[in-house]
Structure 1
Amino acid sequence: MKQSNSLFFIAVLLSLVSCAKMEEKRYMPVNKNAMPEVVQLLDFLYSIQGKYTLTGIHNFASDINRYDQVVDSLTGKTPVIWGSDFSFNALGENQCDFRHCGPLNLTVPGNRTVPCEVLNLSTTQQRQLIVDAAIKKYHEGRIITLMWHCCWPTNGDDCNGDDIWRWADNLPSQEEWDELTTDGTELNNLWKKQMDGIAVYLKQLQAAGVPVLWRPFHEMNGVWFWWCNKPGENGFKKLWISMYNYLTDYHKLNNLLWVWNTNAPRNNPGDEAGPYADYYPGSDYVDVLAADVYHADWKQSHHDELVALGKGKIISLGEVGALPSTEVYENQPQWSWFMPWGYFILNSDNVKIAKDIYNHPRSVNLDMIDFSDQTYKLKK
């Protein structure tokens, strides 16, 4: 009996030590030259990992504060995470069909009081609005996340939305993909020219000392964007690594935390999303593993499989349509932040639950952040 008790206590002790080691495991940014603000932000994310979840909201360039204001009106809170999109200009007769993703030249989606209209601001002006807002929000203690709906490289920043939303029957051929991801080809050079244009704005943020949760080419395991549905070593992984090397080594962008943002896997015919692992470029090129959850598809496996793939790295909800129920929220504690996609916060179910989720004991809003010395920490 005594021996059994001793073995039991040893097993408990080893379990506690193992858990403590897991909690203490923190990764440095994958970019070894990351500026101190980036290192500190990532360290902050690890300090709350599994304990708290940061709240967020996406805003569009054409109405840069609108959904901040909506969240405040619904919950009485200001989210910590502020998101926006470098986006594109929608061309063609069906421009307004793509209003939902916030093209730079269209009025903001979800604002039902404003008809879909073409704006007179240029791409440069709109992207500058995003950068100026991001700098301001950062100094208020917000954490900035940026993304990029990107036209096929031959079209630069101006395209019919169907050029981005290709769907499974119109995705690039393997020959086109190989040209895109091969240094020095015409298509590869056009893609780099697009990245040069985005780097201009990321460098402004770097000069202002603003760290960015950078999540380009999201939902790559789906079948809807041109960069989707290319699994394996010569697929999306190669594109991601090329982008990482170009922005990090050539453009010397050291203010980015690299957020690899998948879609939650699903088997919907014609709207599938493949397994996370088939598109993962590896831990040397990813700081945060994220998933987008739409259609209220809150499977526990979406959370657990991303945790397993990350091996201790931060995971997050890059975009959500429906907010999780409080039960789901409590059963999936490793999400380090969530961010509703702009106007989705106005969906009837979200309106009902928003106050409960944003005011949940595990949620961190801006009023809980101490940013007095330009570092992120929780108020005591």
Structure 2
Amino acid sequence: MRYLILLLAFALPLASAAPRDDKTQALYDYLLGIWGNSTLAGQSDLTWRDSIDMAQRVHDDTGKYPALMGYDFMNYYDATEGDGRHQTEEAIAWHARGGLVSFHWHWRMENGKFYTKETPFRLPAADYRKIDQAIDRIALELKRLQDAGVPVLWRPLHEAAGGWFWWGTSREGYIALWRHMHERLTQTHGLRNLIWVWNGQDPAWYPGDDVVDITGYDVYDHAYAEAWQKTKQHGKPVALSETGHIPDPAEGPRWLWFLTWNDGAGPAGVTDPNNFWTGEHHNSNAHKRKVYNDPRVITLDRLPKF
């Protein structure tokens, strides 16, 4: 009987971290269906320079477009930069082409900064008024995406355990903030287009199964096996939520997706440490073509219609 109970438990679908509309549920079901068998190719947009088309740079080098593009709300709240404020429009346009959309948020607070060394804001927070003001601003963009029929792989409060962002200055404060954001976006604002992706980088910072759909890890040092072991224990699908080097699909764990970080140093083709896609500092052109043409890797042309 004990073994039968265990088998039934694994056969049951994963509990939802939030109510979803039909299109978002269809995407989540698809992700659960490919998990362990295929990997989505993903690319982060150059989110502070609207004129750069990272998806096109991927296509120019591989002949394929990524299945997933990653965007950022970094300059939508308390920012002085005029660039990087067309992420919502870019995401809607990418979705219209059949692509999947991920969003993270370099959350500026207090003096317009997000790095711990540059802002005095700390957790835990006794007063949530400033926090709610920021969340409410981003909720407007998420609502625009929902109205356009765009499901969002929502990855807020990333890399918290590293401590370099203000939301990583307290484990208890971070978990409380995650759960507060979840409640505010799903209940106060009624958003139904979010699939919650957690990558706090430390199992001790996990906010709970009821508020997480997918777990992820950001890897820039090739320590994939260690990252996998840390993240898989939660029993959720595991994504390589940011990376510099694109893993070989023939080796190591089967990530739900990989998201290569963006470029930051000039024109396409320039080899530079700040260019995570273009050039050959982090990935050779031959390796990019190999990965993007591997049958285990899902690119834009292989995605179903949601």
TM over 0.5: yes
Aligned twin of 2:303 = 369
Distance 1:89 1:37, change over 3 A: closer
Distance 1:90 1:216, change over 3 A: closer
Distance 1:235 1:201, change over 3 A: same
Identity of aligned residues (%): 31
Out of 351, 362, 375, the residue aligned to residue 284 of structure 2 is: 351
Aligned twin of 1:34 = 20
Secondary structure, counterpart of 2:162 in structure 1: coil
Distance 1:356 1:41 in 2: 26
What is the CA deviation profile of residues 12-44 of structure 1, one whole-angstrom value per residue up to 9, with x for unaligned ones? xx89x978974x44324311x311111111100
The question of whether the paired residues in 1 share the 8 Å contact of 2:76 and 2:138 is answered with no
**RMSD after superposition:** 2.6
TM-score (norm 1): 0.70
Out of 315, 333, 337, the residue aligned to residue 238 of structure 2 is: 315
Task: Tell me the amino acid that sits aligned with residue 177 of structure 1.
Answer: L
Distance 1:350 1:257, change over 3 A: same
Aligned twin of 1:66 = 53
Structure 2 gaps of 5+ residues are 264-275
Secondary structure, counterpart of 1:370 in structure 2: coil
Kindly tell me the number of residue pairs found equivalent between the two proteins: 289
Once the 2 structures are TM-superposed, how far is the Cα of residue 54 of structure 1 from its aligned partner?
0.3
1:1-380 matches, within 5 Å, as 22=10, 24-31=11-18, 33-61=19-47, 62-63=49-50, 66-88=53-75, 105=81, 120=82, 126-127=84-85, 129-152=86-109, 154-155=110-111, 159=112, 163-167=113-117, 176-178=122-124, 180=125, 182=126, 185=127, 188-231=128-171, 234-263=172-201, 276-298=202-224, 300-309=225-234, 311=235, 313-327=236-250, 330-333=251-254, 335-343=255-263, 344-346=276-278, 347-352=280-285, 353-371=287-305, 375=306
The question of whether the paired residues in 2 share the 8 Å contact of 1:64 and 1:130 is answered with no
The question of whether the paired residues in 2 share the 8 Å contact of 1:259 and 1:287 is answered with yes
TM-score (norm 2): 0.86
Would you tell me which structure has more helix in proportion to its own residues? Answer: 1
What is the CA deviation profile of residues 269-314 of structure 1, one whole-angstrom value per residue up to 9, with x for unaligned ones? xxxxxxx22100010000110110013333x1211331122x2x21
Once the 2 structures are TM-superposed, how far is the Cα of residue 90 of structure 1 from its aligned partner?
11
Task: Tell me the amino acid that sits aligned with residue 283 of structure 2.
Answer: N
Once the 2 structures are TM-superposed, how far is the Cα of residue 250 of structure 1 from its aligned partner?
0.8
Once the 2 structures are TM-superposed, how far is the Cα of residue 212 of structure 1 from its aligned partner?
0.3
Aligned twin of 2:273 = none
What is the CA deviation profile of residues 315-373 of structure 1, one whole-angstrom value per residue up to 9, with x for unaligned ones? 1111111222455xx3201x1111101111124241332111122221000111231xx
Instruction: Return the index of the structure with the highest Cα Rg.
Output: 1
Greater alpha carbon shift after TM alignment, 81-90 vs 359-368: 81-90
What is the CA deviation profile of residues 64-117 of structure 1, one whole-angstrom value per residue up to 9, with x for unaligned ones? 5521111111111100001111113899xxxxxxxxxxx882xxxxxxxxxxxx
Task: Tell me the amino acid that sits aligned with residue 229 of structure 2.
Answer: D
The question of whether the paired residues in 2 share the 8 Å contact of 1:29 and 1:39 is answered with no
Secondary structure, counterpart of 2:153 in structure 1: strand
The question of whether the paired residues in 1 share the 8 Å contact of 2:77 and 2:108 is answered with no
Distance 1:67 1:204, change over 3 A: same
Structure 1 gaps of 5+ residues are 1-13, 92-102, 106-119, 264-275, 376-380
